[in-house]
Structure 1
């Protein structure tokens, strides 16, 4: 495996040096017709398509497909190919978006610009970058700069994102040019000294390259640097993230037209603000009726708990643990998806759960396969603990052999508001200057919370045959603003665990 930024640097060097036979073959081999045959005959397995192009045509699969894109009616790419400038320009050098209509799936994601575009540095990366420079191209100025950043990183203590002045990070254009020259020298020496095949060189990573990628964001307007001590991974990090939507809206404005699609898209006035222009807003369910029968879901608000910061004490964590245990015993079979506002909050609750034998607690390294293995090996009932907007709540789908969802209960263990850190403050301030205080506040609090809730709920009901009991475990779900953005009719407001247990049993017996 190789990081994208390393792949592209290595690829560029091999191309310019004329050392990549697969790239050179693009001008030598008449591959277009055979490429079309491979694509038509494939089973939509990207890895198999790449292998077939390499083995049968002996050309670069990436640039062969890019060249094919220019003559295609439909081009499908992931977010980075559209929104990350360096990748977009590498992939589509001669493409003009003004000739294309852009369709953005899961468009609620663009409301979180930091999830699409960000840079990151940690102590290990800086240490390795220093070693690279010392080994291949000793430069006192480069080493001194990297040491200064490392010293700054050592002073990071907060578990929340804390603002770091860009002046402490940004070295000036002269030093950046020196870093770029140093990286190129290192790469050329590796190419000469290692006597490896191009296929091996392409896999060589570079920590100095990661530093440079980080600095490309630091130098841009509309980006800010933050430090955080990541307790889950036990490392300190610097992050650079956008504090407005400019990079996203500017790219979309280049297109001939844009269609934004999402099952959890915010109201029209919010999308107008984000897009910077009047939008045509179509609510499919409002115009054509519910996608799934309304009676397939039962929504209950539990009022005796709250994840409000001022209430995050031992007693409240115990209440949440007891609530989840009650739900577990009320359910006869199936998966319970418990969704938390943050990792620390989840840890405080799960440590107090003792009466649930089969559980999966999401961590940084948790995979979909881990979840499936636990579900299959359980006695028919399992709890999955996940963090809102994490990998599990955004993409997990658990189905039985008949295609029905195994997730029967979704519990929102508190309102998943974004953490009140310096990044949130800066984003809100920046948006307020352009959109006004109300829109900025909504975009940084209630809107992302509502989207996270709806994304979690969507994990349970995947077809018209699925039924799910949805528990909104926080009294703040009764607030008018949250109810408005959620657009959900609450079926019950519950103030005791006995009543909740009774409702769960009746729902799955078919009485509700």
Structure 2
């Protein structure tokens, strides 16, 4: 049966007017960051105040029941009258409010009707409680309704929504009917049927699964297909396929297309970043600079309903065309379309990032019938640390002081006060310094944010507005993230490499924040070709101890690959130099000479890559070796990346050797099948460079009786190694070599971390490598 949250219902039906994001000042309500103030107000209201009251109402139609549900912030009695309390945390000064925002009032009115209906009340009151998140100043509005009055209003609201619930009901009937006869589109590979069953069982039980699935297992279809079948059996309602990179999103889309060819009917959207969808030359989301923002909410519902009637797959091109027809923002329209889609392919941010997540699905804080499929899940560790961390720079306060002095001297003084505190921190800091408490600084930041918020609201246009707005967002982000800080955060200051001084709220252990997001879904499947060691990822991506873990064995034969460790190379920083670079270059020459083809060599840094490439080039010139060299460069754009990879498509008589960086854009996610790549030489263990942040990680885990070096250095480095080596064997017809150069790989600390499929790995030295490689290719 269709269902909708009270919040989504009223925001959908009653929204109107322009998009205007000129500072969060014009977005009056705070979302996630208001939870703390909600709890504080609720506790202050006494024992008779019922907080977080779940409410549900079913509207009966001929074919289905429409379920409307949510949680009232509070319900209380006063003078024998019942009131429903709706609390809204704000960034602007609440004393300036002369009336409540109607969307907020409508939310309270829905709760009031449901409660009055459930308890047969003749009348019901609504209290709107607005509170400033920084000052905690409050303002109240009260309204009283007869039951007949509020019932009439509620019925009219549902009538406006009926065409949408009709659409949802009939579409899901059609979708589920198409899923029932759907079968796995390929003959099952060895172990694949069990893998599909494991994923389905996890979803049916509402659990979380960590799936280590080597290349060739078919992990995308093996996760997406059972998720689709679960939806068809009402064990889920919507699939989020979450990716870190565009290329893996493309694979998910291809998998959907395959199932669609076999009869699957579902509505799918692949969410595209706002920057790539914006039709304007400069992305200014307000009615002054953007014609699509002006009156957007007056037209967007018609645009969405229209496009839903005419297709199932909503591509970037179709979204842009529809936005042009209706003169609406394509990005915001795409988010609205997603509300009616069965399958959503999107970046991790849309589920996990506290500032980007899809509030239409997750803002209520209640568990949805969602299935999260998290592809390349090893990327989520670092990405989530970024999402849940925040930083401020001393130099930005000085810039704001200078800009604001001409417009608002008091704001300029507040910036100066924050700058002085940062200056004190800077004097105390040699390399980096951690802090347990920054309460005084935080108070200054809140005062600055509140005043800046009001200034932005009163001054919609001035030359430096964009720069000030970006600073305001950074300030708000810092304050919001501070509300999350607990024992899994480290607050530290440091002088950065570019000479600036910063304070950072560093989320060293993101598991708790991620778990809060995971809890909003029915089931979550984390999968990757490199989730080793599995306990590391289980520890950092979730707080639960009862999660499942499955290791899917490779479908490739051991004869397809040569895996060898070079025991006479060290890439330790103290041992790098001309002699070691010549040894590595000799390995490269001997490997490439044995068979004409395409190779990649991966290095721990650009500097080392360039130094070895220079030595290799000298040797090639001396011996006139028929080898074409390619070098990855820093900050390559999309066109440059495509041009780089296109070299692997060309048919020539010369070998190609590409010099790349581990963990970079060519270290994972690329798919060079068959003879497009026949060898990878991985130089070094991939350890992250020593930095203040890595040392903070190390010290944090050491202090928690865990191996700090492993968590901060070894495990992240190993992942880069496994990803780089995994570029070679992509299909059952591939053959290739993987040479790993660093004697540390032979230590017991590493041997126990490698995949089972590497059991047949050999140990070689530079003198032996030619013969070992030659024999492998002779068996081709």
TM-score class normalised by the smaller sequence: 0.7 to 0.9
State the distance in 2 between where 1:359 and 1:461 align.
22
2:308 equivalent in structure 1: 36
Assess, with a 3 A threshold, how the Cα gap between structure 1 residues 375 and 429 changes in structure 2: closer, same or farther. Answer: closer
1:486 equivalent in structure 2: 754
1:308 equivalent in structure 2: 572
Select the structure that is richer in helix. 1
Structure whose alpha-carbon radius of gyration is higher? 2
For the 8 Å contact 2:350–2:356, the answer to whether it is kept is yes
- Paired positions, count: 476
Q: What's the secondary structure of 2:345's corresponding residue?
A: coil
Instruction: Please give the residue correspondences for 1:158-169 in structure 2 after superposition, counting only pairs within 5 Å.
Output: 162-163=432-433, 165=435
Q: Is 2:767 the counterpart of 1:502?
A: no
Q: Is 2:278 the counterpart of 1:278?
A: no
Q: What's the secondary structure of 2:528's corresponding residue?
A: coil
State the distance in 1 between where 2:366 and 2:727 align.
34
1:468 equivalent in structure 2: 736
State the distance in 2 between where 1:25 and 1:482 align.
60
Assess, with a 3 A threshold, how the Cα gap between structure 1 residues 166 and 49 changes in structure 2: closer, same or farther. Answer: farther
Q: Is 2:509 the counterpart of 1:244?
A: yes
* Cα deviations by residue, 1:430-458 (Å, 9 ceiling, x for unpaired): 34555x425x5543343323221121122
- Aligned counterpart for 2:665 among listed residues 373, 391, 394: 391
Instruction: Please give the residue correspondences for 1:65-144 in structure 2 after superposition, counting only pairs within 5 Å.
Output: 65-88=334-357, 90=359, 92=361, 94-96=363-365, 98-99=367-368, 100-112=370-382, 113-114=384-385, 116-119=387-390, 129=400, 132-134=403-405, 136-138=407-409, 139-143=412-416
State the distance in 2 between where 1:337 and 1:155 align.
46
State the distance in 1 between where 2:20 and 2:567 align.
52
1:50 equivalent in structure 2: 319
Assess, with a 3 A threshold, how the Cα gap between structure 1 residues 78 and 311 changes in structure 2: closer, same or farther. Answer: same
State the distance in 2 between where 1:347 and 1:148 align.
42
Structure 2 regions of 5+ residues with no counterpart?
Answer: 1-18, 29-284, 288-292, 621-626
User: What displacement does 1:416 show?
Assistant: 1.0
Select the structure that is richer in strand. 2
Structure 1 regions of 5+ residues with no counterpart?
Answer: 1-6, 195-200
User: What displacement does 1:474 show?
Assistant: 0.6
State the distance in 2 between where 1:156 and 1:347 align.
34
Instruction: Please give the residue correspondences for 1:341-360 in structure 2 after superposition, counting only pairs within 5 Å.
Output: 341-355=604-618, 358-360=628-630
Assess, with a 3 A threshold, how the Cα gap between structure 1 residues 40 and 455 changes in structure 2: closer, same or farther. Answer: same
Q: What's the secondary structure of 2:302's corresponding residue?
A: coil
For the 8 Å contact 2:678–2:737, the answer to whether it is kept is yes
* Cα deviations by residue, 1:206-234 (Å, 9 ceiling, x for unpaired): 4413642563446633143454654xxx6
Q: What's the secondary structure of 1:386's corresponding residue?
A: strand
Assess, with a 3 A threshold, how the Cα gap between structure 1 residues 154 and 503 changes in structure 2: closer, same or farther. Answer: farther
* Cα deviations by residue, 1:298-353 (Å, 9 ceiling, x for unpaired): 1011111112244234432343344334434444221x222222344434434444
For the 8 Å contact 2:22–2:469, the answer to whether it is kept is no
Assess, with a 3 A threshold, how the Cα gap between structure 1 residues 206 and 39 changes in structure 2: closer, same or farther. Answer: farther
State the distance in 1 between where 2:355 and 2:471 align.
17
Instruction: Please give the residue correspondences for 1:373-452 in structure 2 after superposition, counting only pairs within 5 Å.
Output: 373-374=643-644, 376=646, 380-398=654-672, 404=674, 406-432=676-702, 436-438=705-707, 441-452=709-720
Assess, with a 3 A threshold, how the Cα gap between structure 1 residues 122 and 351 changes in structure 2: closer, same or farther. Answer: farther
381-390 or 355-364, which moves further after superposition?
355-364
- The CA RMSD measured in Å over matched residues stands at 4.0
Q: Is 2:282 the counterpart of 1:10?
A: no
Structure number with higher relative contact order (C-alpha < 8 Å, ≥ 6 residues apart)? 1
254-263 or 177-186, which moves further after superposition?
177-186
